[in-house]
Amino acid sequence: MTIHKEGFKTIAIATIIFGIINILSFYFLSYSAPMLSWVIFILTLGLLLFLISFFRIPKRTLTISDNAIVAPADGKVVVIEEVQADEYFTDRRMQVSIFMSPLNVHVNRNPVTGEVVYSEYHKGKYLVAWHPKSSTENERHSVVYRKDGKEILVKQIAGALAKRICNYLRPGQLVNQGDEMGFIKLGSRVDLLLPLDAKINVKIGDKPQGGVTVIATW
């Protein structure tokens, strides 16, 4: 397991704060209220470890397949439905949505190998990530991949806690399946808009692993 680059600064600041709080706690409370001092230490250590785990990148054997669309994120499948596309596409698409809790790995990965033909950031609200309108009203970043004449859209969506979406892709870039496309801090959601003839391999409630689980084939 390694730590994502987006977490270096955050973890460094959190570690300094952890040290200051506990130095002051032990200096002022260890004699008069030792139990309170230990409670503060345990709670702050737990928060620090949680923060470190949030930025983790576990070692995995990624799925590489020409006809597979792999999960761009860890989480839970909360939506599988046919929708009218409202960005880039003008036709109807099959939407698969993955909800990411703060406990999930938050690295986002390219679902296919291909060319990035669209990459756009949108300002927006911070509704809870499972809200039906979060896909169109929340802060988000949309990317369209083209492979063998077919296109899919992946939308990174901020949630109520997520305040920063990181995306590393630009139009014209050639990318490989399983490589990083970005990172979302804290709870969030990722939507995929797929062609209607794509064969969906997951169901509501499934818990895919980013870069590993095959969401659909085409």
Q: Which positions are catalytic? A: 188
* Residue-wise DSSP of 128-181: -TTSTTHHHHB-EEEEEEEETTEEEEEEEEE-SS---EEE---TT-EE-TTSEE
* Nearest of 144, 140, 149, 154 to residue 116 by alpha carbon: 144
Identify residue 139 by its one-letter amino acid code.
E
What whole-number distance in Å separates Cα of residue 77 and Cα of residue 201?
Answer: 11
Q: How many helices (H) and strands (E) does the chain have?
A: 3, 15
CB 65 within 8 A of CB 202: no
156 contacts: CB under 8 Å, gap ≥ 6: 108, 140, 141, 142, 143, 165, 167, 182, 184, 188, 190
Rounded-to-integer distance, Cα 151 and Cα 5, Å = 29
- Residue 175: both structure tokens together: 């990318």
Distance, in Å, from the CA atom of 190 to the CA atom of 96, rounded to the nearest integer, reads: 8
